[in-house]
């Protein structure tokens, strides 16, 4: 059955939050290894609560276009797109695929949906950001497979 992508509905919120936490748990575990315990607990004292709040805010943000991916009527992923009409730029603000559904084309379907929204809005540039750690490797692979060009950036942290 093909993946269906449609606008998020209020009834989707709990499942979108839950799947995002499942999807991002390995990412945060990877970042914790890179940062070490001290820095990680300083930067992300409760990543799950913060992430849940950010996802809930994104789903109600009038400046974002949020869509969910459905597989057999079940929410298996979501994407939030921000359009900057002044610069003709669209940005994938958030994207997540439930780990149980990864590797089945859900990320591709969500990315293609996001790119279509950007084109429809008159954008001529698409942007997405992700991390360079091992936990973000699947995201980097997706974006590169979709034709994005990476610009390596580094953000340093130090405890004072």
Which domains, and CATH codes, for the chain?
4-145 (3.40.630.30)
pLDDT at 2 over 90: no
Instruction: Record the pTM.
Output: 0.92
Q: What is the residue whose two structure tokens read 């990320």?
A: 107
Distance, in Å, from the CA atom of 109 to the CA atom of 1, rounded to the nearest integer, reads: 13
pLDDT digits (tens, 9 = 90+) for 87-142: 999 999 999 999 999 999 999 999 999 999 999 999 999 999 999 989 899 999 99
Q: Could you tell me which residues come within 8 angstroms of residue 50 by beta carbon, excluding any fewer than 6 positions away?
A: 44
Alpha helices in 44-136 (DSSP H): 47-60, 106-120
Distance, in Å, from the CA atom of 11 to the CA atom of 119, rounded to the nearest integer, reads: 28
Section 75-98 average pLDDT: 97
CB atoms within 10 A of CB 43: 13
């Amino acid at each position: 059955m093909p993946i269906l992508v449609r606008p998020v509905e209020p009834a989707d919120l709990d499942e979108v939050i839950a799947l995002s936490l499942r999807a991002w748990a390995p990412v945060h575990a990877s970042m914790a290894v890179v940062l070490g315990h001290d820095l990680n607990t300083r930067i992300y004292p409760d990543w799950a609560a913060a992430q849940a709040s950010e996802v809930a805010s994104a789903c109600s943000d009038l400046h974002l276009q949020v869509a969910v991916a459905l597989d057999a009527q079940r929410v298996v992923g979501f994407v939030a797109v921000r359009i900057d009409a002044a610069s003709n730029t669209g940005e994938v603000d958030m994207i997540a695929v439930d780990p149980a559904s990864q590797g089945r084309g859900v990320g591709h379907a969500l990315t293609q949906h996001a790119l279509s929204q950007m084109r429809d809005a008159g954008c001529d540039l698409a942007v997405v950001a992700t991390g360079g750690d091992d936990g973000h490797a699947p995201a980097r692979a997706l974006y590169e497979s979709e034709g994005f060009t990476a610009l390596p950036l580094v953000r340093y942290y130090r405890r004072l």
